[in-house]
Amino acid sequence: MPTQTEEFLRSHPRDIGVEDVDLLKTTVERLAACAQSCTACADACLGESEVAELVACVRLNLDCADVCSAAERVLTRRTDADPELQRSLLETAILYTQACARECERHGGRHEHCRLCADRCRLAEDSCRQFLLQVQEQQR
Amino acid sequence: MPTQTEEFLRSHPRDIGVEDVDLLKTTVERLAACAQSCTACADACLGESEVAELVACVRLNLDCADVCSAAERVLTRRTDADPELQRSLLETAILYTQACARECERHGGRHEHCRLCADRCRLAEDSCRQFLLQVQEQQR
Amino acid sequence: MPTQTEEFLRSHPRDIGVEDVDLLKTTVERLAACAQSCTACADACLGESEVAELVACVRLNLDCADVCSAAERVLTRRTDADPELQRSLLETAILYTQACARECERHGGRHEHCRLCADRCRLAEDSCRQFLLQVQEQQR
Amino acid sequence: MPTQTEEFLRSHPRDIGVEDVDLLKTTVERLAACAQSCTACADACLGESEVAELVACVRLNLDCADVCSAAERVLTRRTDADPELQRSLLETAILYTQACARECERHGGRHEHCRLCADRCRLAEDSCRQFLLQVQEQQR
């Protein structure tokens, strides 16, 4: 069964400018899942009694949520999509998801929400890296 | 298998202030799906040759995406969740998803992206109405 | 000298649906200032050594920033602006700015960023209340 | 008189990690002004009778608003600010503001909102370039 993201990409009236629709779909969905995870992890960290030890985690969660939400919105838009702009945004999303994953992994043994969030960040990072390769090939 | 939203809600260190976790989970997920649908529908409308007839639809899509994204983030946060604040935000989300669904339904026969988006708006509206009832009961 | 917001409102090609452009301008600008203040206050709270006592403040700051950002964007859009939708969003913004102001005021004596943020919340709340009255009159 | 942004930066409890507070202040304020301008310009374009000729402009406006809002939020946060992450986000913001300015400049002669928006994009781009230089020097 096609996902919502796939249905929208297939109903777009123009050439959406990608060869691998499935990769774009997965990237958008993982960015959305990562943004939500980071929002949830920041809030759960605030609810922990040792919140003072989780300050760097909350801060990166908030940044990563903002960057991934922006990337999700921009990559969802396919009218006149510009490879150079997408490339830069993907590179930025890779750095934020990677940094947030690393910080969450430090607390994953004690906090389930950090473990879950690290997983979502790594999935988003991985898809962004693959989609970046595709975008770079288009630019050649 | 539990969804990501459910896993995060269950890993929260505090009382998340809801009796029906499943209803909260569905509401948050449908708000996220609605926000993404509205972003995609606005962009697809911009790609249509008769974009001039879809201006009201694009405008409502953009508003509904912003309102549902804010509601998704706020309802995801469960530390010290305030019923009165949630109630007002849910009422606002209901009005925006309803108005956007109505406009999209007008174009659903001709544009598959409008039909899909109307469906997502209706699902979000429906869950917000149910969750609103639960929040109102908590306030009594 | 007119502000940026005023220049944009005056350059809009359609009837922007308000009698008091100055009130709309002030409301949008104060919502933007409040959103930024709440983002800054949340981060400054995270940097305080007694962050554990500021958890409720951070949480309300994050919510208020999201609600005010959404309201700022929606009220900036004047094409086919709907009074009923604006009314509900203003009511929600009033509740969030009021709640955030109250919490920030509790810490304003010790933390300058909380005092500054409370001021910005109160200014946004006040303008939203005035603009709400104007929107309600239009609906009659 | 200090601006709101400056007051918040000066009230931060930790080392905010920049030498030139004034440059950071200007960058954050211009990103906020650019985000608001892009939201307003997209809406004004939708209100124009020849909206079909402004589709690329609306699309870039929406992207630039999302990227600049995310950058404004992230750069406002000064707790444990990471130079490498800021660098990448600034590079992305430079590309989006530059692309949006170029497109708006094409319509600036006929549409005042496009002319105003191009100016705001160029100001944001210019400050991001200057702040990027400072961040790069910190990394050495």
Which of A6-10, A25-29, A83-87, D135-139 bottoms out in mean pLDDT, i.e. has the lowest?
D135-139
Backbone angles phi, psi at A15, to 5 degrees: -65, 120
**Are residues D43 and B59, on separate chains, in Cβ contact within 8 Å?**
yes
Given this model, what pLDDT does residue B138 score? 84
Judge contact between A61 and A41, C-beta under 8 A. Answer: yes
**Are residues D8 and C79, on separate chains, in Cβ contact within 8 Å?**
no
Judge contact between D9 and C114, C-beta under 8 A. Answer: no
Locate the chain C residue with the closest alpha carbon to B95.
C85
Judge contact between B86 and B76, C-beta under 8 A. Answer: no
Residue tagged 């060869």 (tokens):
A19
pLDDT in tens, C13-41: 999 999 899 999 999 999 999 999 999 99
Q: Is residue A98 less than 8 Å (CB to CB) from chain D? A: no
Mean pLDDT for the stretch of residues B24-43: 98
Give the closest residue to C85 by CA, choosing from D134, D57, D1, B102: B102
Give the closest residue to D11 by CA, choosing from C37, A55, A42, C100: C37
Nearest by CB to B79, from C59, C88, C99: name it: C59
pLDDT in tens, C40-97: 999 999 999 999 999 999 999 999 999 999 999 999 999 999 999 999 999 999 999 9
State how far the Cα of C101 lies from the Cα of C41, in Å rounded to an integer: 11
Q: Is residue B42 less than 8 Å (CB to CB) from chain D? A: yes
Q: Alpha helix locations (H) across chain D?
A: 4-10, 21-47, 55-76, 83-107, 112-139
* Fold (topology level) of B20-139: Substrate Binding Domain Of Dnak; Chain:A; Domain 2 (1.20.1270)
**Three-state SS annotation for B97-136:** HHHHHHHHHHHCCCCHHHHHHHHHHHHHHHHHHHHHHHHH
Given this model, what pLDDT does residue B139 score? 81
State how far the Cα of C34 lies from the Cα of B21, in Å rounded to an integer: 32
Judge contact between C100 and C114, C-beta under 8 A. Answer: no
Locate the chain C residue with the closest alpha carbon to D77.
C43
Distance from CA of B55 to the nearest CA of D (A): 6
**Are residues D72 and C36, on separate chains, in Cβ contact within 8 Å?**
yes
State how far the Cα of A103 lies from the Cα of A50, in Å rounded to an integer: 16
Judge contact between D40 and C8, C-beta under 8 A. Answer: yes
pLDDT in tens, D13-44: 999 999 899 999 999 999 999 999 999 999 99
Give the closest residue to C107 by CA, choosing from C66, C60, C64: C60
Q: Is the pLDDT of residue C1 over 80?
A: no
Percent of chain D surpassing pLDDT 70: 100
Number of residues that this document lists for chain C: 140
pLDDT band at A90 (very low <50, low <70, confident <90, very high): very high
Residue tagged 């702040």 (tokens):
D131
pLDDT band at A53 (very low <50, low <70, confident <90, very high): very high
Contact partners, residue D129, CB within 8 Å, separation at least 6: D94
User: Computed over its alpha carbons, how large is the radius of gyration of chain C?
Assistant: 16
User: Computed over its alpha carbons, how large is the radius of gyration of chain D?
Assistant: 16
Judge contact between A43 and B9, C-beta under 8 A. Answer: no
Q: Output DSSP code: residue A35.
A: H
Percent of chain B surpassing pLDDT 70: 100
Q: Is the pLDDT of residue B140 over 90?
A: no
State how far the Cα of D25 lies from the Cα of D2, in Å rounded to an integer: 10
Q: Where are the domains of chain B?
A: 20-139
Given this model, what pLDDT does residue B87 score? 97
pTM over 0.90: yes
